[in-house]
Amino acid sequence: MAGTAEPHGTVGDLASRLAPYLRDESLLLNALTHRSHCAEADGAVSNERLEHLGDAVLGLVVSEHLYLSLPGVPEGDLARIRAAVVSTAALAPVAARVGVGAALLLGRGEDLSGGREKQSILADAFEAIVGATFLDAGLDAARALVLDLLGEQIAEASAVAELGDAKNRLQELTSRLGEELPRYEVSESGPDHAKRFAAVVVVGDAVAGRGAGHSKKQAERAAALEALEARGSAGACVPAGGAAGGSCRHGGRAGVPRGA
């Protein structure tokens, strides 16, 4: 393929990482070829057809896994989990982590404008890689690839559905106990294509829980879930400005200082 010599080393690196699943490097090159590259390389074919196929395979694999692993979860929740897992915001960080960005075949203009870090381009390439894996080695290999690389995201999203909406449950609990409603403080870190969010949930003057995730909502839910688990087991919280060891309004013991 014309125009692939310069980034071929990074394509080789990615090929090594994906070797347990995808062995046909010509399919991998196609999966990494953005349409902007095709305008500058005679005979190059964009990854758009592979992306279309990979999107369908990805949806099937995630849906099958959720159906089998979450037998008590209703259809609406399964759909919401799948949507979260296969979203651009979820796929782009995974693609960046395994080195897709460095290996992309981009036109010069797209490359200079930061295309290697654009979420949409990274997510599309990930889907194309899933499609390439399906063509090269079949559904079992594509399933193994998806569950290996997206396992953490699937587990996090599944936990939210299995336990219900932790934020709503915490709000209902504090209201029932006559406490102030929970409020959330969220910070973020990392580049745009791989952001991480950290949240604390505060009830009254006390930190009730902490959480992290790939989105603000995910981090807030994780913090709310920790607060619920703490109250269910030890009722832990902490005065916002004080040391551990004090008592909380709901009678539990204090935990980690808010500023820690």
Q: 145 and 220: one domain? A: no
Q: 151 and 170: one domain? A: no
Q: 108 and 175: one domain? A: no
Which of 115, 136, 162 terminates a domain? The answer is 162
The answer to whether position 251 is within a domain reads: no
The answer to whether position 44 is within a domain reads: yes
Confidence (pLDDT) at 164: 54
Active site residues: 55, 127
The answer to whether position 244 is within a domain reads: no
Spatial separation of the C-alpha atoms in residues 208 and 200, rounded to whole Å: 8
3 pLDDT above the threshold of 90: no
Q: 115 and 172: one domain? A: no
Q: What is the largest CA-CA distance in the chain?
A: 72
Count of beta carbons in the 10 Å neighbourhood of residue 12: 12
Spatial separation of the C-alpha atoms in residues 33 and 23, rounded to whole Å: 17
Q: 155 and 199: one domain? A: no
Which of 133, 162, 191 terminates a domain? The answer is 162
Q: What is the pLDDT of residues 154-191, one digit of tens each?
A: 988 787 665 557 888 888 888 888 899 999 999 999 88
The answer to whether position 220 is within a domain reads: yes
Q: What is the pLDDT of residues 42-81, one digit of tens each?
A: 889 999 999 999 999 999 999 999 999 988 788 888 898 8
241 pLDDT above the threshold of 50: no
Task: Give me the CATH number covering residue 220.
Answer: 3.30.160.20
Confidence (pLDDT) at 151: 92
Q: 127 and 191: one domain? A: no
Q: 76 and 191: one domain? A: no
Q: What is the pLDDT of residues 91-144, one digit of tens each?
A: 999 999 999 999 999 999 999 999 999 999 999 999 999 999 999 999 999 999
The answer to whether position 259 is within a domain reads: no
In the chain, the number of structural domains is 2
Average pLDDT for 231-249: 42
The answer to whether position 252 is within a domain reads: no
Q: 144 and 171: one domain? A: no
Residue 99 is part of which domain span?
8-162
Q: Is the pTM of this model over 0.75?
A: no
Task: Give me the CATH number covering residue 88.
Answer: 1.10.1520.10
Confidence (pLDDT) at 225: 87
Higher pLDDT pick, 236 / 150: 150
Contact 19, 86 (CB under 8 A): no
The answer to whether position 84 is within a domain reads: yes
The answer to whether position 258 is within a domain reads: no
Specify the DSSP element, H or E, that contains 202: strand 196-203
